[in-house]
Amino acid sequence: MTTDVLDTATIDTAESAHLRPACFHCGALCPDDSISIGTHQFCCAGCKTVYEILHQNGLERFYELEQAPGIRMTRIPRADRFAYLDEEPIRRRLLDFSDGQHARATFHIPAIHCIACVWLLENIYRLKTGIGRSEVNFPRKEVSIAFAERQVSLSALVALLASLGYEPALNLGSIESPPADPTARRLLIKIGVAGFAFGNIMLLSFPTYLGLDPSTEELMQRSFGHISLLLALPVLLFSASDYWQAAWLCFRRRMITIELPIAIGLAALFAQSAWDIFGRHGEGYLDSFSGLVFLLLCGRWFQRKTYESLSFERDYKSYFPLSVIRKSAHGEVPVPITSLAVGDRVIVRAQELIPADAVLIAGEGLVDYSFVSGEAAPVARQVGDYLYAGGRQAGGAIEIEIVKAVSQSYLTALWNSEAFQKTDKPDLLSLTNIAGRYFTYAVIGIAASVALFWSLRDPSVVARAFSAVLIVACPCALALAAPFTLGSAMRIFGRHGLYLRNTSVVERLARISAIVFDKTGTLTFAGASDFKYQGEPLSAEEQQAVGALAAHSTHPFSRGLGEMLEGYGIVEDFQEHPGCGVEGRIAGRHYRIGSKSWLHAQGDDASAVYVAVDGAVRGRYVARSAYRPALARLMERLSACAVSIISGDDERERGALREIGGERVALRFRQSPFDKLAYVRQLQANRERVLMIGDGLNDAGALRQSDVGIAVTEDIATFTPSSDAILDARHFGDLPCFLRAARSAVRVLKISFAVSLSYNAIAIGIAASGHLSPLISAILMPLSSFSVIAFSLLATNTVAGRAGLR
Amino acid sequence: MSVLYLLMAASLVVALGFLVSFIWAVWSGQFDDTETPSMRVLLDEDTTTIRTKNEEKKHT
């Protein structure tokens, strides 16, 4: 084994920054200054290679656009890794277009993060002949590349991207579902049409607004009325179509949502206007009608802020890779995962997933099931042992034999289990729809009594007064309050690292009464471990040397230790003894770190890493979970809710968790994914509204069952189980702020409701007395709508700032 | 007053023209990604000339 530093991992910290140069390519701290070109230092050979490629092709501008914009290249991808992409069934599904010569493919690349990435990916044609125009969609983190298939194969293209650090996310999910969403475009066009009609009808209504005498300008009045009607027709048939559909759905399902009174109001407006214009009674309310539709659609547009690069609906398909390496008589060939059959031999290399339930044939299994089961420590598996799908091999390469098809394996079975299927969370409970329901009853009641009243006094006004009440009772402002209040709350949350699936999550978040935390990966850092040293003290130099040595190891425990100690130093005579440990010479002294038996050390802890310097055993590093900072403070701030911590792990950490949560917190250990789901159900049966916070597939059921499920992730571009919201782990401590802000936002929403209802009350008063005119309607409608929108936006931003989200 | 009808018709035609061009812009995908072009404009390097040569325009 050589002493190259391909896999060295380092963590940037301020203290050590002055000691070590930052990598010119990726900005990470370099373990030593052995890798450099001219004055540029690199943290690893991978970063240096990328720099060389860009340098040779005249693409150095990449480094001018941003400071150290590169993606850290921890390992250089094997050139043949993507050969499977040229297999016809996969190739066909990945390409957007192909005519045999020219082709175009769109890749999702999670690594895209800055302007330099955009520039490099759009200049990628300079690196290889045959690549044509490429275009980046930054919010979606996608690049679409045109290329000549005869000159560049799909696998070569992906390999080129990967060699620069922009490896596309290729998984089972990416070939099965086309991500296009045409509704966004349709909505924009609907807004355009409604806005067009609104503006022009207002222009045509100017004679009315100015109070011109209809008797002298009768022809003008009539022709303007007919043109207005013509302009309003596409608004009625196209722009407002969602409301007709929603109203029809309400009718069929015998339920009332906010769309029903809106549809009634809009229909009354249009019918009354058409009646007036054709019957020459007046000029109608078409300006109000198209203005209403325009504003309502704007509200919808504001509300549907989507985080395009995030997916809230991922299933196991986006967790599994596209291909695996099958070993057969012809050698080792990459094959699509879908073509795996029982009895196939598969090679799983370090950090790769076990694709299906299998039996270990050769090699030493060290499988990390933390994502699937919640157990923190990787488990050792011997030849002949049964391996469940979904685990990640943490040690070296192993050979396995598939015993169950991918679709019938433990992980997929877990996922497809009925208990984990999404129960449709009823939208009917949203505040808007509850308000809409009462509103509808009230309006119909008032309209009926008004009609009754006038039929006794003056039957000639009955129809007019009845329709006037329906017109002004259109809950436009009410319907706008929720999109703007909750929509802006959602945007504020997004700026602070909590990405919501939609606006109704804000409302549900405000009602939370119980919080359930997962331990592994949620309260603790995913992947990172904390080590505690026991034994004869090591000097600072010795610690650094141990760190440097540990960082060279392929064993995940030693690597974790290397990351924590931030080793610095050149390792000579490095040797790795698989299953035992590593040894090497640093600054003239001989270090060995590894297992107890290898070092003949005394002690009782088999999972510890022992250290020997110059032949003498000095002590051991004991692994423990690395908790996120300030958890105790966080738990204290959440004390208004009932907090529980559930874990798939054993009780080892009970003491630490008690310390964090205090006596109040309910602790549960050894919980299977089904136990977690059952626990959330049990809380809900006790009339608690549960917020579940988890990170892995083992929490997927509980995340779905809970009222709000938040998936925590260190890197928002990576896989998260399906949930209502995704929380960037760096903002984990802001959780109480989010809860407070959500509650305040709902309070703002209720006040907005009150304001808009008072407008409706005034308008109904005018209408019931039979005095409603198009002019009053034209003033009242925009006044109520705009004041409610302005109040919602301002108040939400203020209360969110007060809750700590600035 | 009859000139008003002419003006009315003319203004409607102009407005319709804008509506049609807006619909065309939406359908051709110009509003699909409003963020990347704002970054691209800062990349002042003259790459467009090379790019158009490589571009194939046969397909949609």
Q: Which ipTM score applies to this complex?
A: 0.77
Which residues of chain B lie closer than 8 angstroms to A188, CB-CB? 26, 31
Of residues B23, B47, B56, nearest to A123 (C-beta): B47
**Burial of A457: CB neighbours in 10 Å, binned 0-12, 13-18, 19+:** exposed
Dihedral in degrees, nearest 10, Cα atoms A113, A114, A119, A120:
-50
B20 CA to chain A: closest CA distance, Å? 9
- Phi–psi pair at A112, nearest 5 degrees: -60, 125
Which residues of chain B lie closer than 8 angstroms to A115, CB-CB? 39, 42-43
Residue among A806, A89, A677 at smallest CA distance from A418: A677
Task: Return the SS3 of A529.
Answer: strand
Q: Report the C-alpha gap between A3 and A572 in whole angstroms.
A: 7
User: What token pair was written down for A173?
Assistant: 């999910």
User: What token pair was written down for A557?
Assistant: 């425990």
- Using the structure block, give the residue that is written with the tokens 């890197």: A715
A331 has which bridge partners?
Answer: A328
Q: Report the C-alpha gap between A235 and A617 in whole angstroms.
A: 82
Distance of CA A112 to the CA centre of its chain: 15
Of residues B1, B12, B27, nearest to A185 (C-beta): B27
**Cβ-Cβ contacts under 8 Å for A701 (sequence gap 6 or more):** A414, A417, A419, A420, A673, A674, A676, A677
**Burial of B46: CB neighbours in 10 Å, binned 0-12, 13-18, 19+:** exposed
**Burial of A207: CB neighbours in 10 Å, binned 0-12, 13-18, 19+:** middle
Are B8 and A136 within 8 A, CB to CB?
no
A541 CA to chain B: closest CA distance, Å? 46
Window A:206-265, CB contacts with B under 8 Å: 217, 220, 223-224, 227
A102 CA to chain B: closest CA distance, Å? 8
Q: Which residues of B touch A (CB under 8 A)?
A: 1, 4-5, 8, 11-12, 15-16, 18-19, 22-23, 26-27, 31-33, 35-36, 39-40, 42-43, 45, 47, 50-51, 54-56, 58-59
Q: Report the C-alpha gap between A612 and A620 in whole angstroms.
A: 9
Which residues of chain A lie closer than 8 angstroms to B11, CB-CB? 200, 203
A585 has which bridge partners?
Answer: A572, A590
A533 has which bridge partners?
Answer: A621
pLDDT tens, A723-778? 889 998 889 989 999 999 999 999 999 999 999 889 888 888 888 777 777 778 87
Which residues of chain B lie closer than 8 angstroms to A138, CB-CB? 33, 35-36, 39
Q: Does A122 touch chain B (CB under 8 A)?
A: yes
Distance of CA A704 to the CA centre of its chain: 15
- The strand order across the sheet containing A142-148 reads A95-98, A102-108, A142-148, A131-137
Burial A274-288 (b: 16+ CB within 10 A, else e): bebbeeeebbbbbbb
Residue among A429, A432, A433 at smallest CA distance from A484: A432
pLDDT of the residue at A6: 34
In contact, A310 and A318? CB cutoff 8 Å = no
Closest residue in A to B43 (Cα) is A119
pLDDT tens, A224-238? 888 899 999 999 999
Low-confidence ranges of chain A (pLDDT < 70): 1-20, 31-33, 74-80, 173-181, 212-219, 306, 308-309, 313-316, 376, 414-429, 526-529, 554-556, 566-569, 578-579, 603-607, 717-719
Strand (E) or helix (H) holding A533: strand A524-535
Q: Does A385 touch chain B (CB under 8 A)?
A: no
In contact, A318 and A719? CB cutoff 8 Å = yes
Burial B9-18 (b: 16+ CB within 10 A, else e): eeebeebeee
Q: Report the C-alpha gap between A534 and A769 in whole angstroms.
A: 87
**Cβ-Cβ contacts under 8 Å for A316 (sequence gap 6 or more):** A172, A390, A411, A412, A415, A697
Are A137 and B36 within 8 A, CB to CB?
yes
C-alpha neighbours within 13 Å on the C-beta side of residue A750: 7
pLDDT of the residue at A45: 77
Distance of CA B22 to the CA centre of its chain: 7
Handedness of CA A135, A137, A138, A140 (dihedral sign): negative
A303 CA to chain B: closest CA distance, Å? 17
Are B33 and A223 within 8 A, CB to CB?
no
Of residues A102, A139, A220, nearest to B35 (C-beta): A139
For residue B28, give the amino acid letter.
S
Q: Report the C-alpha gap between A192 and A186 in whole angstroms.
A: 10
Q: Give the residue from B19, B41, B53 with the most A CB atoms within 10 Å of its CB, the best one to mutate.
A: B19
Closest residue in A to B13 (Cα) is A200
Provide Rg for chain A, Cα atoms: 32
Q: Output the CA–CA distances (angstroms, integers) from residue A154 to A73, A145, A150, in the order listed.
A: 22, 10, 10
Are A227 and B8 within 8 A, CB to CB?
yes
Closest residue in A to B33 (Cα) is A137
Of residues A115, A199, A217, nearest to B42 (C-beta): A115
User: What token pair was written down for A702?
Assistant: 């509980």
pLDDT of the residue at A685: 92
User: What token pair was written down for A339?
Assistant: 């073509």
Q: Give the residue from A112, A196, A228 with the most B CB atoms within 10 Å of its CB, the best one to mutate.
A: A196
A532 has which bridge partners?
Answer: A622
**Cβ-Cβ contacts under 8 Å for A703 (sequence gap 6 or more):** A692, A694, A709, A710, A711, A721, A722, A723, A724
Average pLDDT over residues B15-23: 94
Of residues B19, B35, B59, nearest to A102 (C-beta): B59
Q: Report the C-alpha gap between A764 and A743 in whole angstroms.
A: 31
pLDDT of the residue at A686: 92
Dihedral in degrees, nearest 10, Cα atoms A758, A759, A760, A762:
90
Alpha helices (runs of H) in A538-628, residue ranges in sequence order: 540-551, 556-565, 596-599
- Phi–psi pair at A146, nearest 5 degrees: -95, 140
User: What token pair was written down for A728?
Assistant: 């960037």
User: What token pair was written down for A786?
Assistant: 């705009």
In contact, A262 and A475? CB cutoff 8 Å = yes
In contact, A11 and A566? CB cutoff 8 Å = yes
Are B33 and A139 within 8 A, CB to CB?
yes
Task: Return the SS3 of A473.
Answer: coil
Q: Report the C-alpha gap between A634 and A192 in whole angstroms.
A: 47
A535 has which bridge partners?
Answer: A619
**Cβ-Cβ contacts under 8 Å for A567 (sequence gap 6 or more):** A31, A544, A545, A546, A547, A548, A549, A550, A551
Q: Report the C-alpha gap between A664 and A668 in whole angstroms.
A: 13
Q: Report the C-alpha gap between A475 and A413 in whole angstroms.
A: 47
In contact, A753 and A481? CB cutoff 8 Å = yes
pTM: 0.80
